[in-house]
Amino acid sequence: MSMEKKRDAWIEGAFEEITGYKREEFIRENIWSKMLHPDDVERDARDNLQLAQNKKIFSELRIIRKDGNVRWVSGYVYPIWDEAHNRLAGVYGSTRDITKIKQAELLAIQSTNEMTLLYKVGLALSGGKDLYHELHAFVQELKKVIMVDAFYVGFHNEQTDTFSYSLFLSNEEDLKLPPRNLKTAPGLTGEVIATKKTLYLPDIKAPQVQANHKMFIIRDSEVRSYLGIPLMLNDKAIGVMSVQAKKVNAYDEDQIRLLETIAVQVVITSEKSRLLEQLQKELVERQRLLHEMELKNAELERFSYTVSHDLRSPLVTIRGFLGYMEKSVLSGNIASFQKDMQRVVSATDRMNQLLKDLLELSRIGRVLNEMEEVSVESLIHIALENVQGMIRDKNISVQVQKNMPIIFVDQPRIIEVLQNLIDNAAKYIGDQKTPIIEIGYAGQTENKYHLFFVKDNGIGIAPEHHERIFGLFNKLNIDSEGTGVGLALVRRIIEFHGGKIWVQSEAGLGSTFYFSLPPPETTPKK
């Protein structure tokens, strides 16, 4: 059979049905080069090279039909070799349409790739780390199968109408963006939150798109395709996951569907992270409360012992001297009677003061005055007036810093704090020739609390007693004035306001008592 007849046989029947071209068209024109899919040109060239080497081929190629549709075909082609001239004289073989088979294969491959991606994404989003690192790992897996030039996940606080970014990547740059208010700057994010629907814009720079949508540009990264998917929980859009690309129309329907499936996993992961964080906070708070309870129990034990001891002591004194007084009356010894009477009065005064201090301590946290904004300096001057007698008696110079900040406090309680600290400094000033008490502001702590101090140049406190002095009824000098409740009362008032108190001191080198109070906007509204 001649080459021409072989070719005629090859193009008749099924081939004409597959390609849409008639026999005459195929003979008259160079149809094959026109019909071959551009992506398969190299493979066809390799096939022709094998035929030229007297080798049979099996090939799967895409062709473009006359009507423009793309079809997959497979065929066996055998060379007809001219032995005399050692060259290819013709070919014969068979071809068939395998489009449906290929589509099924591609669908299976796509499904496998999607399942693999979902599995890897699931691993990335359950890595046991915080949400930020889990999302980072997820994006790296996503980039292996989908074009990603920009990506963000953020969550919407419905009460404040703010949108906070858990992760925002733009051209591999990890942006740390502050929360934004969706009312003033909704952008495409606000649109997705409001509609609760996926928003896909194949080209955000198209004039019609910009006319129909309000853009909020965070960083000009040459992005063209935008895909925003709402993160839904209990029928509420709690956030947005967005994937973006520099290519126009970068995502097809299957990819969008896949990303919507992944968005569900992101919601589950975020909820898991939120619940875990909440649980950790609750555990920390529970440990704090347990520790506080242990301290309270220890304080209660000391309280029970000390009350029983300190209240009994004046009673024993009173009872004893009542007997002496009776003898003095019977014997007519008025001088001894008066001396014993004074001792009874002193014992009852001490018991009365102890009971007053205990009552005052028990009221902290229960009986409240109204919280008010006030100048610290004004409270200091009131406290100084209350202890002016001791200040003058000991000839103490008091220096008060100017321009201290405004605080939001229970005024009478903070006056008690200042009065106790000033009184304590004066009491233990020692025999200094130039006794000085300084009261001032030391700036802000790391958590933005205001830090104040009361400093003296008195006898000081050894480091091993720094914590002990704040305990109930703990007095370093048992012969000193007072009941040992003062500093315990001070600590309780400061802690009730959300602050802390501590001392820096060494024996013989004076003492500085520091106490912190939160600024007005963070002070607990008890």
Boundaries of every domain in the chain: 3-97, 113-274, 367-517
Model pLDDT, residue 188: 92
Model pLDDT, residue 169: 85
Pick the CATH number of 3-97 from 1.10.3720.10, 3.40.50.300, 3.30.450.20, 1.20.810.10: 3.30.450.20
Task: Note the pTM of the prediction, 2 decimals.
Answer: 0.42
Model pLDDT, residue 309: 55
Model pLDDT, residue 113: 61
Model pLDDT, residue 525: 47
253-331 vs 131-142: helix axis angle to the nearest 10? 170
Give the integer Cα–Cα distance in Å for 365 and 369: 10
DSSP label of 434: S
Pick the CATH number of 113-274 from 3.40.50.620, 3.20.20.70, 3.30.420.40, 3.30.450.40: 3.30.450.40
The identity of residue 449, as a single letter, is Y
Domains 3-97 and 113-274 share a fold: yes
Model pLDDT, residue 473: 54
Domain 367-517, second-level architecture: 2-Layer Sandwich (3.30)
Determine contact, residues 69/89, Cβ cutoff 8 Å: no
Model pLDDT, residue 385: 85
DSSP characters over 176-226: -PPPEETTT--HHHHHHHHH-S-EEES-TTSHHHHHHS----SS-----EE
Model pLDDT, residue 108: 61
Q: Which of 385, 394, 392, 388 is nearest to 457 (CA)?
A: 394
Q: Which of 50, 104, 102, 40 is nearest to 79 (CA)?
A: 50
Model pLDDT, residue 129: 57
Q: Which of 107, 97, 138, 397 is nearest to 265 (CA)?
A: 138
What is the pLDDT tens value at each position of the chain, 526 positions in all?
A: 334 444 444 455 667 788 888 877 777 777 788 888 988 889 888 988 998 899 998 988 888 888 888 888 888 888 898 888 888 888 887 788 888 888 777 766 656 665 666 556 555 555 555 667 777 777 787 787 788 898 888 889 888 889 988 888 888 788 888 888 888 888 899 999 999 999 999 999 999 998 898 888 776 678 899 999 999 988 889 899 899 999 999 998 888 888 888 888 778 777 776 766 777 788 888 888 888 788 777 666 666 655 565 566 567 667 777 888 888 888 888 888 888 788 777 777 767 766 666 666 665 554 456 788 888 999 999 888 878 878 888 899 999 999 898 888 888 888 888 988 998 888 888 888 899 999 999 988 877 889 999 999 998 888 888 887 776 555 555 545 555 567 888 888 888 888 999 999 888 889 999 999 887 765 444 4
Return the beta strands (E) in 218-339 as ranges: 225-233, 236-245
- Sign of the Cα torsion 364, 367, 370, 374 reads negative
